[in-house]
Structure 1
């Protein structure tokens, strides 16, 4: 077991890319894993691969396409509209996604001798996704340790940060421009600032504007 090695659950989005830089600063060895679960926008997997390649991080893509078949949602089905729903998770919620992602990442981590699993889930701006909550992650951490008799530590560096604070963290890590220009958060598959209209783009932009206005007066958003 290597206490200086981490596996990052990596989608190529703002949050997971910030977590990748966070892990690279803390651990001597870092690997990334991206899950192909039948996303409507193949560019997500391509974006993750491109980022990992440019950062020289070993990267694996795992096939979880069965998930998209079992849990139809707006991220895997073009005939499901992207909608916010009162009293229920939005249509972009994928049942079981983080449960499966972290479980498979744990199997990979154990085989690689890594103890740490890093994920970008966040309860502050969690959009109503139940599998982004701290209580879920802690519960799964205990379950994985028991299931594999292995001392996993699931790291959640963004858990209590809002989007403005996530931009601040990226800036502290020297990755502000990289995250702004290279990541894909948009539900419509557009890199960087995205479509500007979907819920993910609006949340990302709101956080960016808040951070730039509060911490970087006189500096245009996205510029080093």
Structure 2
């Protein structure tokens, strides 16, 4: 088992890109894994590829088209607009059932084949849309399940779990990649790189976090 190596679940968005650079600062070898589930805005995969190529990170894209077939929602269907606001009851229609469960399970298989125990993902319970598969309790539970399922000592790290969006911007700043994250990532549900459309929930959260970050005393 190689504890100097880490696998990053990488979408090309703000959070996973911050995690990628967080990993690069801590591990001798970092591998990024993305998923093609025929998502509506496949430009995120192009962002992921470009970021990895630019920073000389080994990058793999795994085929998960079955998820698109099983879980139609606003991120996988062009005819389903993203909810502009979080519904009073239930989950937002941008939630993809089983996504993190499948992503992390498949990345775990990949990691074991590479002799790696460390898996890094950018989920957060501090600033999220109510997605149940972003909760700390789920991550801890899945970590135990994966260890039992493969008789292997996986360690799922969630560096952003208790960090809000302002804090994530601060992390990018401290890692020296603030402009990279700001200009070269895709968080927008409507598929616009960088600052995004400004109107979808992801863009609103990202913008509010950036404004809060800029108000910090030690902000540039």
Same fold (TM over 0.5): yes
By how many angstroms is 1:216 displaced?
A: 5.0
Match of 2:205 in 1: 203
Deviations 1:50-81 (A, max 9, x none): 00110100000001011011001000001112
Does 1:33 pair with 2:33?
Answer: yes
Structure 1: distance between partners of 2:81 and 2:184 = 26
Structure 1: distance between partners of 2:66 and 2:120 = 23
Gaps of 5+ in 2: none
Structure 1: distance between partners of 2:33 and 2:217 = 33
CA contact (8 A) 1:126 1:133 kept: no
Structure 2: distance between partners of 1:155 and 1:216 = 27
Structure 2: distance between partners of 1:45 and 1:189 = 11
TM-score by length of 1: 0.95
| Alignment of structure 1 residues 88-99 onto 2, 5 Å | 88-99=90-101
Gaps of 5+ in 1: 220-224
Match of 1:2 in 2: 2
By how many angstroms is 1:89 displaced?
A: 1.1
Structure 2: distance between partners of 1:215 and 1:82 = 35
Match of 1:123 in 2: 125
SS at match of 1:168: helix
Match of 1:146 in 2: 148
SS at match of 1:3: strand
CA RMSD of aligned residues (A): 0.9
By how many angstroms is 1:159 displaced?
A: 0.1
By how many angstroms is 1:176 displaced?
A: 0.7
